[in-house]
Structure 1
Amino acid sequence: MLTARSVALFVLAAVFEIGGAWLIWQGVREHRGIGWIVAGVVSLGVYGFVATLQPSSEFGRILAAYGGVFVAGSLIWAMVADHYRPDRFDVLGAVICLIGVGVIMYVPRGR
């Protein structure tokens, strides 16, 4: 159950962080206005709080693992929001990152 909760929190964090960055990009680079930028800043702030809900208390481990989630999530976001088509190397890189997430977060440790 803790693993499922952790994975769900990583996905939720990715939505808020990647979404926030995308909203800011849209506001600045695509000239959509200050409302998009403000929404992006709020979303990025929510991401920071979602990360604190992870069951583990190891900040460095959570942030390192989240980096892998961010890589894969960014490609998925780009596919959905911007119709980006990742090539096989994008996909391979994302899979490698997700394997890293699994090792960092979910491999049992003898403590």
Structure 2
Amino acid sequence: MTALVFLGTALAEIAGCFAFWAWLRLGRSMWWVVPGLLSLCLFASLLTLPAVAQAGRAYAAYGGVYIASAVVWLWLAEGTKPDRWDVLGACVCLAGAAIIYLGPRVASGS
């Protein structure tokens, strides 16, 4: 379930940020900012759902999913096929995210 939440979170963040990119870099109407802001609010809300005790650990694990999702966005939304370095980098990031999220934790008093 966490993987689906992270994927939805990444889609919301990338779409929200792309709305600003479209406005500021592609010359689209300022009205692109409105759905962009709503998407970024959805992103922030979704990022609170994974069952992780510390926010920083959730953010770090999510980061790998975000990077891989951005590479997919590059391909599907922007029409640029990722090269082997994009794919390798995304795989390394996903491996790091899995280590952070799934690694065994020792209970601590703090």
Q: What is the match of residue 79 of structure 2? A: 83
Q: Partner of 1:82: helix, strand, or coil?
A: coil
| 1:108 Cα deviation after fit | 2.9
Aligned length: 107
How much is the aligned-residue C-alpha RMSD, in angstroms? 1.1
When normalised by structure 2's length, the TM-score is 0.91
Matched, 1:63 2:59: yes
Per-residue CA deviation, residues 11-60 of structure 1 (Å, 9 max, x unaligned), is 01001001111111112211211221121121111100110111112101
The whole-number CA distance in structure 2 between the counterparts of 1:100 and 1:35 is 37
Q: What is the alpha-carbon distance in structure 2 between the residues aligned to residue 80 and residue 87 of structure 1?
A: 14
Pairing 1:16–2:12 present: yes
Structure with the higher fraction of residues in helix conformation: 1
In structure 2, runs of 5+ residues without a counterpart are none
Runs of 4+ with >6 A deviation: none
Per-residue CA deviation, residues 52-101 of structure 1 (Å, 9 max, x unaligned), is: 11111210101111111111110101111111111111110000000001
Judge conservation of contact 1:28–1:37 (CA < 8 Å) in 2. no
Which runs of 5 or more structure 1 residues have no equivalent in the other structure? none
AA aligned to 2:100 is: I
Whole-Å separation in 2 of the counterparts to 1:6 and 1:110: 21
Q: TM-score, normalised by structure 1?
A: 0.90
Alignment partners' CA distance in 1, 2:8 and 2:102:
18
